[in-house]
Chain A
């Protein structure tokens, strides 16, 4: 049973426009959510996070929104740049020490 779901395997967006990546979760015990970015042949790198007590967190071009009642979070990238082309993983955690549960990832392609 997949607890963190990214239903779009890929997403193509024009350079300069907004990219919106979505993530749904089923476990109501998750209290911390993160987005990771991964380039080919590299490890994932941390992008942005949000705790369950907030509904929005912003860092430069990246904003994460959390809707707890819908068990849904989204990552907004504005404006999208060519270097944003990568696989984005949504992840969730129940506690500090437990391992993160990852979604399957969304491959974002920024078109020139």
Chain B
């Protein structure tokens, strides 16, 4: 019963480097989401995908791109990492209203 799996769990990047955060779900959910959590800020939506083949911007999309590779996988890419992107990133999936979250990726950009 994997649910939502995120890789990697931890990552340190230098400013300007690029990387892709991976997310996969095995619950056959249509919708998938990427959030970031910063101290005192709660969770803020970066991008979401309501169904395979569609993606939409959330509250804080700048500096990120996403790919909904298939129904299972939704990746988040940082093309040129900045210290302001230091955060904990959570992927979630949903069949409707209720979300299932992954355990998060802690990213530090130095």
B84 to chain A, nearest CB (A): 18
Q: Is B43 an interface residue (CB 8 A)?
A: yes
Q: Which residues of B contact A (CB under 8 A)?
A: 4, 31, 33, 35, 40-45, 48, 50-51, 58-59, 90, 92, 96-104
Q: Which of A32, A43, A97 contacts B101 (CB 8 A)?
A: A43
Complex CA–CA separation, A34 to B43 (angstroms):
14
Complex contacts, A34 vs chain B, CB 8 Å: 97-99
Q: Which residues of A contact B (CB under 8 A)?
A: 6, 9, 32, 34, 36, 41-46, 49, 89, 93, 96-105
Contact A102 B44 (CB under 8 A): yes
Give B38's nearest chain A residue, CB to CB: A104
Complex CA–CA separation, A99 to B93 (angstroms):
10
Q: Which of A36, A41, A49, A101 contacts B97 (CB 8 A)?
A: A49
Q: Which of B42, B48, B104 contacts A104 (CB 8 A)?
A: B42
Contact A102 B103 (CB under 8 A): no
Contact B42 A42 (CB under 8 A): no
Contact A46 B45 (CB under 8 A): no
Contact A43 B104, CB 8 Å, known A99-B58, A100-B99: yes
B70 to chain A, nearest CB (A): 18
* A-B contacts besides A41-B104, A89-B43, A99-B59, 13 pairs, CB < 8 Å: A34-B98, A34-B99, A36-B99, A36-B101, A44-B99, A45-B101, A46-B98, A49-B98, A96-B31, A97-B50, A99-B58, A103-B42, A104-B41
